Amino acid sequence: MAFGYRRPGLFYGLSTVLSWGLWLAAAYLSHLPQQGPEVQGATAALGLAGLAAPVGVAAWLVRGRPELWMDVRRRLLWPRGVSRLHLACAFGLLLASILAATAVSLLFGYSADQFQLRGGFSFTSGLLPVWSVLVLAPILEELAWHGYGTDALLTRFNLFTASLLFTVFWTFWHVPLALIQGYYQSEVVAEGWLATLNFPLSMVPFVLLMNWLYCRTGRSIGVAVIFHLSAGFVNEILRTHPDTKVIQTALLLPLTAVVVWRNRELFFGGRPGAGGVPVAQLPHEARST
């Protein structure tokens, strides 16, 4: 069975237009001088709606396609036979990388206090609790990105090209969030040019590693959610200096290069949607690490 997710342009176009429209309205409200409960509530609602918009687009595109609904439901279940390596990477790779980056930062004179728990959050989210955003964002995003978007790109490109194209889109998609007062992306921009540049650069290894796990676990949306969740919480639970996140990116890039090289057939092979066999259908013993 070839992938049936064949409308990438429409999916990414509508996802961008809807999310941008809602978030620009939220940005406008967040800068009003009077920030009462009504304004803050409307800002939070618009922010959440923008986050959920790509899920709505994905659901609309698979309407009337029972085979796609069945495929999505299957991929929402926790996959069987996941290797310990892939499971460990999904849950702990990003935590290990930030701890390693923090250890490296000590060599450059940064404080060991970075290993301590933050005891709070580095950004606000209006009336919504920050922890709820850290949970909802990965779930809603991955329902869209790996429920439809990634497979749609794979109908036309190999996994490596699809991952890089998605990184460009994802960076562009996040831009309006930097305009919403107090949101994570606006705090990143406020930290300076290095932190701002690191945000899209860090997405390159993040997306490649997440798609590696996604494919090696039978296109599991749940594994993608776990990996994305870990990224959000790892960035918030410790008193990590912004420069240490740059070091983390520097550590993840060569690691990602090794993963891509060792899985070059997966990343550079034929397009699954063009008649190739989806990774999900390969016998487990035929999949590499």
| 283 falls within a domain | no
Catalytic residue (one of 86, 142, 146, 174) = 174
**What is the per-residue pLDDT across 124-163, written as a single tens digit (0 to 9) for each?**
666 677 778 889 999 999 999 999 999 999 999 999 999 9
Contacts of 242 (CB under 8 A, 6+ apart): 188, 191, 192, 194, 195, 198
Please give the torsion angle defined by the CA atoms of residues 139, 142, 143 and 144, in that order, rounded to the nearest 10 degrees. 130
| 2 falls within a domain | no
Residue 141 among the catalytic residues? yes
Q: Look up residue 229 and give its amino acid.
A: L
Q: What number is the average pLDDT over the span 212-221?
A: 95
| 255 falls within a domain | yes
Residue 174 among the catalytic residues? yes
Statement: residue 19 has pLDDT above 80: yes
| 193 falls within a domain | yes
The total number of structural domains that make up the chain = 1
- What integer best gives the mean pLDDT of the chain? 89
Residue located via tokens 């970075």: 114
| 138 falls within a domain | yes
Catalytic residue (one of 86, 141, 146, 236) = 141
Statement: residue 79 has pLDDT above 90: no
pLDDT over 70, % of the chain = 90
| 212 falls within a domain | yes
Residue 187 lies in domain: 8-272
